[in-house]
């Protein structure tokens, strides 16, 4: 098992019968969805919501029962990956472009479990370009406002040059800060820029971080409050 799979297998231990579960997105969350699918096949009874169309499709293939958002008031536990995690449980997310649905899901969750391999742990966020979802209208202006915060903002494209469009019909600006000195302060600044739908800084949302190491061990870190 690789580090991502190890972390995912550990995380599903927190899922119990009757829970509403949030399914994350990405190559680490993939392993969690697989493990949940296995448990469902063995008789675990849960209901789930997904953070992206690919995760929803995977859940359907694995016969994980999906429910509409209108039928729930909160989520018991969400298991999701991250692009960077610092020592204060601050995250950068959105490498796969799913940050908006992921943040809606994390915010609605009683417990958000983040699963990563050791490569995602950082002293300071920002080496990974911060993904910011923006509406297509006047996106060039929104990019200029983002750059005033000290980054280089690049509109995300596919390898064939086509513009990347999120599940919500928006663009992603990858904002290269190099290092983010004060993540909560940057979060506040981002809230004030019109045109931004959501950004990939997750502050105060992760409750537990599970780290899988290549050599086969797993560490669990709990945020105190």
Ligand X SMILES: O=C[C@H](O)[C@H](O)[C@H](O)COP(=O)(O)O
> Known binding site: residues?
25-28, 80-83, 93-96, 120
Q: Which are the contacts of 211, defined by CB distance < 8 A and separation ≥ 6?
A: 3, 7, 116, 117, 118, 120, 121, 218, 219, 220, 221
User: Choosing from 102, 118, 214, 222, which is the catalytic residue?
Assistant: 102
Instruction: Tell me whether residue 102 is one of the annotated catalytic residues.
Output: yes
141 vs 168, beta carbon nearer ligand X: 168
Binding-site positions for substrate read 25-28, 80-83, 93-96, 120
138 vs 163, beta carbon nearer ligand X: 163
Q: Which are the contacts of 225, defined by CB distance < 8 A and separation ≥ 6?
A: none
Nearest approach, Cβ of residue 207 and ligand X (Å): 16
Nearest approach, Cβ of residue 53 and ligand X (Å): 12
Nearest approach, Cβ of residue 11 and ligand X (Å): 12
What span, in angstroms and rounded, lies between the C-alpha atoms of 22 and 172?
Answer: 23
What span, in angstroms and rounded, lies between the C-alpha atoms of 192 and 134?
Answer: 13
139 vs 202, beta carbon nearer ligand X: 202
Tokens 């929104």, residue? 142
Which residues are identified as catalytic?
A: 102
């Amino acid at each position: 098992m690789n580090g991502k799979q190890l972390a995912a297998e550990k995380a599903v231990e927190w899922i119990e019968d009757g829970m509403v579960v949030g399914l994350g997105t990405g190559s680490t969350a993939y392993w969690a969805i697989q493990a949940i699918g296995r448990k469902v096949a063995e008789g675990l009874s849960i209901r789930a919501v997904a953070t992206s169309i690919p995760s929803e499709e995977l859940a359907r293939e694995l016969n994980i029962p999906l429910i509409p958002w209108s039928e729930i008031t909160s989520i018991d536990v969400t298991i999701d990956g991250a692009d960077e995690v610092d020592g204060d449980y601050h995250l950068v997310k959105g490498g796969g472009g799913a940050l908006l649905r992921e943040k809606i899901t994390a915010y609605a969750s009683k417990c958000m479990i983040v699963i990563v391999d050791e490569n995602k742990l950082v002293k300071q966020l920002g080496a990974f370009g911060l993904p910011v979802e923006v509406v297509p209208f006047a996106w060039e202006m929104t990019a200029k406002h983002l750059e005033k915060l000290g980054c280089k903002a690049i509109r995300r494209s596919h390898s064939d040059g086509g513009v990347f469009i999120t599940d919500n019909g928006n663009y992603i600006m990858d904002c290269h800060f190099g290092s983010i000195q004060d993540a909560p302060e940057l979060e506040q600044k981002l809230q004030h820029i019109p045109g931004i739908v959501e950004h990939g800084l997750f502050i105060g949302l992760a409750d537990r971080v599970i780290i899988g190491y290549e050599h086969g061990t797993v560490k669990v870190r709990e945020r105190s409050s």
